[in-house]
Chain A
Amino acid sequence: MTDSTDNGTESADDQPTRTPPPAQPNYDNTFDAIVVGAGLAGSAAAITMANEDLDVLMIERGAYPGAKNVFGGVMYTPTIRDLVGMDGAPIERYVGQRRYAMLTEEDEIGATVNIGDWHEEPHNDSFTVLRGDFDEWLADQAVEAGATLITETTVTDLIRENGYIVGVETDRPEGALRAPIVVLAEGGNSLVSEGAGLKPAPDRKDVAVAVKEVIEFPGDSAQVIEDRFRLGDEDGAAYHYFGEGAAGKSFGGAFIYTNDDTVSVGLAYRIEDSITQGINPEKRLNEFKSHPAVAPLFKDARTVEYTAKTIPEGGAEAMPKLVHNGALLVGDTAGLVLNNGVHLEGTNMAVESGYHAGKAVVEAFNSIPATERTAGATAAGGQTARADGGMVIPSSHLQSYPDRLEESFVVKNLEHYEWLIHRVTEDKELLFEELPAALADAAAEYFAIDREPKQVHGARAKERVLGTLGGLRGLVKLGWRYRKIVR
C-alpha cells in the first residue's frame, strides 16, 4: 500500500491509458470509479455505474476479459438478463438435464433430473458457457454503456490518503490512476485486497483447488456429444459427482458440462484435503475420467485445454467487510460462492453483487450536489481527504451495498446453507465414503438375479444401509440433521 500525499505526482491526468475518450463529463478530470478486474462482478458493476453516466475505468490483467478466467460451468443469468438482455450472449447450450451421482471407486448410483420447463425460455436462466467468450461479451456491454476498458494491466496496489482509498497502482509505467471509488472485483485470489488489508488471507480449509479440461471428439464432435449425453441441438447436460470415485477422500466433487461441440470436465476439493490426504488434482482428474462409470463418456476424446483455479468456500461466515472508505468488494473477492455439493453457484452472486455495489456508488454520487463535485468536496462534507483535492466517498455513504446484498438471494442463500456445509464437513466420511459404498452394495443386493428369493436380497440390502447409518434410529437422526435441505 502506498500512502502518497505529495500533490499531483500520482495524478492520472497525463496517463496515455484512456483509449476511447470518455463520453461523460469528468468532474475533476479523473474517473469516477475504477473497477479492478473485468470478470463477471466487475463488468456488472461497470455496466450499472456507466448506465447512470458515471465515468468508469475497468482494469483487466488478461489480454482480454476472460483470458485468465476458469469455471465449470453453468452461467446463471437472471441478473444479466435484467441488466443487458441475453441477445448475442455467447452461450453454448441451455441446461436441460442435470445428473447427481455418487461414485465409489467402482460403482455409480445417481439420479437424472430433466424438467419440461427447462426446455422453454428462459431455460431456468442456466446455460453452459466458456468464459473466454462470455466474459469478453459482458465487458463489451460495459464498454457500450460508456465504460473504458484497459487490458494487459495488473493492479498492484491501492493508493490510500488520509484513510481513504483514492486510486490504484498498476504495472504500467507511471501506472497510478485515481478515482473516488475503487471496486475490487479481482476474483478469489485477491492479491490487491489482501495486500491492502481489506480482507484477511483465507484459510486453506476455506479454499478449493480446481482443475478442468475442455475435451473434444474426433469427427462431428457436437453429434458425438448429443448421442452420448442424449441431447438435442440446443440442450445440454450438467453432471455432478460426489464420493470417493469423484474427489477421493476429500470434501469436494467432480463435474461434467456439455458445451456446443466440446465438453468441460473437472473437479474441485478443499486445498486442506489435498495435503492431508495427499491428493494431487491432476492425478485425481485422471482417476475420475477413468472411473468405469465415467470413462465411456470420454472414449476417443482429445484434450483441447487444461486449466486450474481456486474457489472461495468460506461461505457467509468468511465474508469480509464489504465497504471501506472509497472501496467496495464484490464477487469472489467478497467470498460470494455457494458450493455445498448440491449447488455450485458463484456467477449469479458475482453479477448480483456487482449490480448492488454499482447502485450504491451511483446513490453516493447522487447524494452530493453536482456543484460540489469539484476539488475539495467530500461526500462527508468538511475535510479534504485527497492530496489532489479530489472528491472522496466514506464507507458510510456506501452502506446501501451491504444492506441490499443482505436482502438479496446472495447472502440469504449463503446463510441458509451455512449449516449444510458444517454438517457435511462433520459427516464427510459417512456421506462421501461409507454411504455411497453401502448404497452401491445395497443396490447390487436389491437387483441381484440368482436363485434366492427377492425378499432375502431386499432384507440384506436394507441391513447394509442401516448398518452403515447405525440402524433405523441412525437413519432418523440423519434425516433430522439434514431436514432443512428442502426448506
Chain B
Amino acid sequence: MSTKSPSPGIVQNASLEDRLYTVKYEDPGESHLDVENPGICTTCHEDACVDVCPAKVWRKDADGTPTIAYENCLECGSCRFACPNENVIWTYPERGAGVTYKKG
C-alpha cells in the first residue's frame, strides 16, 4: 500500500548545527572523551562510535584514527556502550561544564 504524504516537506528539520546551538554549553577546555588505543580504531570496521552518536562527535580520518569533536557532545554515553572493543575513554566534563539543559 502506498499513500504518499499529502504535503511533503511541511516539517523543516533543524540542521545539527542549529540543534546543538539550542543547548547551553560551557567548554571544559579539554576533551572528556578519548580512545584507549588509537591502533584498535584503525583496524575497527564497525565504527560504532560514529553510527550511534546523535551529535556527530566522532569522525574517522583516512587512516582510521578517530577525531573527537568533544564540544558537540551531549553526554548521552551511547558511544561508551557501543564500542565493541571497549576502547572509548569516557569521563564527565569537570565541575558541571559541558551541556546544561534548560528543559531536558
A residues bordering B, Cβ < 8 Å?
61-63, 66-71, 104, 106-107, 130-133, 135, 151-154, 171-172, 188-189, 191, 201-202, 204, 207, 209-211, 213-214, 262, 271, 274-275, 278-282, 285-286, 289-290, 292, 295-296, 298-299, 301-310, 437, 440-441, 444
Residues of B within 8 A of A106 (CB): 1-5
User: Do the beta carbons of B82 and A306 come within 8 Å of each other?
Assistant: no
Q: How far is the CB of A248 from chain B (nearest CB, A)?
A: 12
Beta-carbon contacts of B8-43 to A below 8 Å, as 1s and 0s?
111101101011101100000000000000000000
Contact between chains at B101 and A67 (CB < 8 Å): yes
23 A–B contacts, CB within 8 A, in A order: A62-B100, A66-B104, A67-B104, A68-B98, A68-B101, A70-B76, A131-B103, A171-B94, A188-B77, A191-B91, A201-B81, A201-B86, A280-B53, A285-B13, A292-B6, A292-B8, A295-B7, A303-B19, A306-B14, A307-B23, A307-B103, A308-B76, A310-B77
A281 with B52, Cβ < 8 A, contacts A66-B101, A66-B104, A204-B82 known: yes
Docked-complex contact B13 and A290, CB < 8 angstroms: yes
Contact of B90 among A63, A191, A296, A306 (CB under 8 A): A191
- The answer to whether B54 and A154 have CB atoms under 8 Å apart is no
Seed contacts A63-B96, A295-B10, A303-B14; 15 additional CB < 8 Å A-B pairs = A68-B100, A69-B101, A154-B96, A209-B82, A210-B76, A271-B78, A275-B46, A280-B52, A282-B55, A295-B5, A295-B7, A299-B7, A305-B103, A309-B76, A440-B1
Residues of A within 8 A of B100 (CB): 62-63, 67-68
Contact residues in B for A214 (Cβ distance below 8 Å) = 103
- Cα distance, A210 to B82, chains bound together (Å): 13
Q: Within 8 Å CB of B3, what residues of A?
A: 106-107, 292, 444
- Chain B residue with Cβ nearest A281: B54
Select from chain B the residue with minimum beta-carbon distance to A207.
Answer: B81
Q: Closest CB of chain A to B90's CB: distance in Å?
A: 7
B82 and A286 contacting across the interface, CB-CB below 8 Å:
no
- Give complex CA distance A152, B100 in Å: 11
